[in-house]
Amino acid sequence: MSTSGLIHVYTGEGKGKSTAAFGLVIRALGHNKRVAIFSFLKDSKTKYGEMEAFARLFPELIYIRFENASPLFNKSVSMEDLKKSVDESFNKALEIIKEKDVELAVFDELNICMRYGYIDTKKVLDFLKNKPENLEVVITGRDAVDEIIEIADYVTEMKMIKHPFNRGIKARKGIEF
């Protein structure tokens, strides 16, 4: 049994899924690993703090935010357009992994893409089953599908116990985004 190139899943309703993945990114970079983060479904209007920090780490860190506009937030986007966009983004991520011989790849919010059918789960499973042996993979997002949980080596579910949003406190720059 190989101890390199394992699969991590961070899921659940609680805060911290992407943050946990990004902590692993920092650790891997500290050991000179080739790292890439691929973010799906992050809206293009929000200026996320981690994105600003990641830009400073280039070229040691490859960071790509795919602009996969959702019909939930943009009524002019069709479900078919979203599916095509996510599929093309996933294909691009796989190309980069191969070209750059990435050792740690984070697929941020890919769980949601599979749960809601924006990408075929079978396609992701095929990639995971045939990925390079040394490639460590992290998949984040709420609602991880059972097939991904089954194949993963690590599965962590973030559970919300309490959140300021429930008291009417809006997301804060530098803390929630």
pLDDT number for residue 176: 82
pLDDT number for residue 166: 85
Mean pLDDT of the chain: 91
Per-run averaged pLDDT (10 residues), the chain, 177 residues: 85 95 96 96 78 88 85 71 94 98 98 96 98 97 98 96 89 83
Tens of pLDDT, residues 80-107: 989 999 999 999 999 999 999 999 999 9
Q: Which domains are assigned to the chain?
A: 7-167 (3.40.50.300)
pLDDT number for residue 20: 97
Which residues, in sequence order, are CB contacts of 44 under 8 Å at separation 6+?
65, 67, 69
pLDDT number for residue 72: 58
pLDDT number for residue 141: 97
CA distance 67 to 98: 22
Q: Which helix (H) or strand (E) holds 149?
A: helix 146-151
pLDDT number for residue 4: 80
Is 132:4 a contact under the CB 8 Å cutoff?
Answer: no
The sign of the dihedral angle between the CA atoms of 80, 81, 82, 86 is positive
pLDDT number for residue 74: 65
